Amino acid sequence: MSLNRCEQRVYDYWRGHATERQFWEEKVRAIAKATGDDFIAAAQLDAELWRYYVERSGMVKVFQEAVQHEGLRRTSMKSLAELVVRLWVEPRPKKKRPEGEPPPLPYA
């Protein structure tokens, strides 16, 4: 999976700050559990991760320096959101098809 610069910066920051990462792991799991759907959870996390990036840019040197060079225009955090859902959320059991329902058609 490819992350953009902002997403990679957040991910690298978490690797060096265990407390921050642990907070986000718990938050990701809670959102995934509350929504019941990984797609919806990732969409919600996209917005929350951007707010986090903006907040960190006022307090953490590596984020501040990036904002000085790149600016602070809204950037998608969807790939990071999808990645952390995949890494930190227990896989959900696949839903069974009702009896008699044909399997979905493959993509053309």
The pLDDT, as a whole number, for residue 62 is: 95
| Closest to 52 in 3D by CA, of 11, 85, 105 | 11
Please check whether residue 79 lies inside any domain of the structure.
yes
User: How many domains is the chain partitioned into structurally?
Assistant: 1
Per-residue model confidence as pLDDT tens digits over 12-28: 999 999 999 999 999 99
Element (DSSP H or E) covering residue 30: helix 18-35
Please check whether residue 104 lies inside any domain of the structure.
no
Please check whether residue 98 lies inside any domain of the structure.
no
Please check whether residue 51 lies inside any domain of the structure.
yes
The pLDDT, as a whole number, for residue 80 is: 98
Per-residue model confidence as pLDDT tens digits over 67-101: 999 999 999 999 999 999 999 998 877 777 777 88
Domain hosting 81: range is: 5-88
Please check whether residue 48 lies inside any domain of the structure.
yes
Reading the block at residue 54, the tokens are 């903006």
pTM confidence score:
0.82
C-alpha 36/C-alpha 55 separation (Å) is 28
Q: Report phi then psi at 43, rounded to 5.
A: -65, -40
* DSSP string for residues in 34-71: HH--HHHHHHHHHHHHHHHHHHHHTT-HHHHHHHHHH-
* Average pLDDT, integer, range 60-66: 96
pLDDT of residue 108 exceeding 70: no
